Amino acid sequence: MGDRKFGKVMMIFFGFGSGTHSDQAVSVAAKTYGVGASGIWYQWLWLFVTPFFWVITPVFRRMRAITTADFFENRYNRSVALLFALVGCLQLMVSTGVMLKGAGAMITAVSGGAITPVLAVWMMALMFTTYGILGGLSAAVITDFIQGILTIILSFLLVPFALHAVGGIDGLREVIADDSKFSLVAPTGITFFYIAVIALNALFGWVAQPTSMPCSAAGKTELEGRIGFTGGMLIKRVCTVAWVIVGMCAIGMYMGREIEPDQIYGLMAKDLLPQIMPGLIGLFIASLLAGVMSTCDVFMVTSAALFTENIYKSYMAPDKPDSHYVFVGRTASAVVVLLGIFFAFTLESVVSGLEIFWKVSSMMAVAFWGGLFWRGATAAGAWAGTLAAFAALLFTSELQLFGWSLWDFNQGVAPYLPDTMIFEGKLYLPWQMIFYTVAGVTALVLVSMFTRREEKSKLDKFYECVRTPIQGDEPETEPFTLPPGVEPAPRNVLVQHPDFEIPKPSVVTVIGFLGTWVAVGSLIGVFFWIF
């Protein structure tokens, strides 16, 4: 955590850049092309989570940790930290693969097929791996400032030209006769129930994403971290509106044509930008690559830290010089990228890959929330909750190995479920999320109740650290350790029970939380004004 030094502007673009990648524009435009404006929820699933970023961000900073795995080690034990490190690397692999899949599809479309998806993926991977290995967290924050600006350009560059091509919103309404295409809520598929459940899943799983720690804790103060991450995510929500507009215009331009949905965004750029100015294609590609690199550098730094600190250093080689660990970290990050490349080649579409990420990112959320707010959560309970969530996810999925079907829930079980739980012949995604969440929570609680608790002194040290803000001149210490001279903040909780650690919110927390909700409401209002 030696990089706690960045101000508000840098943190905003760090939060925006690390959380925004080109595959998101691809997935939103692709989904919108298929279902209409309700496709916005393939990124706006985080919209109602955004105010909670303001609340949770200081918690990560107060941990005084290097990786989120440090949370699990200090709250539970090393074995749970190892579990998170493995799951976290899996998350980063999936996210890298989805991002490369989306960016590759966009480059193929904008180049008119001159660059194949395979070639595009390998070129991008080589490029960001090279500079990601040479940099670190500081480099990631600094480069995200420039790359964030280019990503915003990528998001809005097509909007005026796309609207002009279809005659504006009024012209679009004439072409698209179905009014439901302009609604935030679809009659089927993306319903109110769908939106509510995926939003809760997003809130649940965000804390267990490996990138949450560096994005929250790199600011000079808690306020910088709060403004940076929350503000960066609000900018992303604005960009999402632009991606939806492009997808809606694509319906008007390509209606009746057989088009690969993943290529919609790139195809729009290819057909529109050269008519305005040939050089705009180059700017588009530069912005696309910036979106890829602004995220992948954070992924590489995070995966290197997870593997080196919580797997290699803890279990394989604990007493090596720093130069050795730097080399191992760089190698580990390159391996995660390589696995992400192969995952990208196995994906049916960017949308399906994104849904996989939503699920995987929630697997250790039960252990995180339980450990943060409940003293009774045990290491055995954390393992049980995580494994139960994974088991429920696998049970409700289709499992294949080298083309052979091992298990298919939709064939064996889904036909016996109520029709309300089935969508397009498969288990409705929100119900799958409910199943694995309930399984994880139930297992955590039951196993924790019948297994030995962590030592009281260990828990006291943990919660004292979490509730004590970092002082301006505070020296670096071990994770979850208050330096000498720093007095722990007094315990101030909402529930007066010795087992629960739910803190009372400060005035700054309440004002920022409510203010962010105002921003969320305003953004929804802008959407209705546009359409």
Q: Give the CATH number, domain containing residue 287.
A: 1.20.1730.10
Of 319-328, 368-377, 436-445, which range is least confident?
Answer: 319-328
Domain extent at residue 120: 8-362+453-483+501-530
Distance CA 481, CA 65 (A): 9
pLDDT for residue 66 is more than 80? no
Distance CA 181, CA 166 (A): 15
When pLDDT is cut at 50, 70 and 90, the band that residue 122 belongs to is: confident
Q: What is the pLDDT of residues 324-336, one digit of tens each?
A: 888 888 888 888 8
Whether 387 is in a domain gets the answer: no
Predicted confidence at residue 468, as pLDDT, reads 93
Whether 405 is in a domain gets the answer: no
Predicted confidence at residue 2, as pLDDT, reads 45
Distance of CA 191 to the CA centre of its chain: 22
Distance CA 185, CA 513 (A): 25
Q: How confident is the prediction for the chain on average, in pLDDT?
A: 86
Asked whether the whole model's pTM tops 0.85, one would answer: yes
Please state, as a whole number, how many other Cβ atoms lie within 10 Å of the Cβ of residue 481. 15
Higher pLDDT, 46 or 154: 46
Whether 474 is in a domain gets the answer: yes
Whether 446 is in a domain gets the answer: no
Q: What is the pLDDT of residues 408-428, one digit of tens each?
A: 898 888 888 998 899 988 899
Whether 439 is in a domain gets the answer: no
Number of domains present in the structure of the chain: 1
Please state, as a whole number, how many other Cβ atoms lie within 10 Å of the Cβ of residue 46. 20
Q: Which sign, positive or negative, has the C-alpha torsion 479, 488, 213, 286?
A: negative
Alpha-carbon distances, residue 185 vs 32, 50, 234 (angstroms): 12, 20, 21
For residue 426, what are the β-bridge partners?
A: 423
Average pLDDT over residues 207-218: 78
Q: Kindly state the DSSP code that residue 297 receives in the 8-state scheme.
A: H
pLDDT for residue 295 is more than 90? no
Average pLDDT over residues 226-230: 89
Amino acid at 78: R
Predicted confidence at residue 10, as pLDDT, reads 75
Distance CA 483, CA 467 (A): 14
Q: What is the pLDDT of residues 16-52, one digit of tens each?
A: 777 777 778 888 998 999 889 999 998 898 899 999 9
Predicted confidence at residue 290, as pLDDT, reads 67
Distance of CA 140 to the CA centre of its chain: 17
Q: What is the pLDDT of residues 79-101, one digit of tens each?
A: 999 999 999 989 988 988 888 88
Q: What angle do CA 506, 208, 382 make, to 5 degrees?
A: 100
Whether 381 is in a domain gets the answer: no
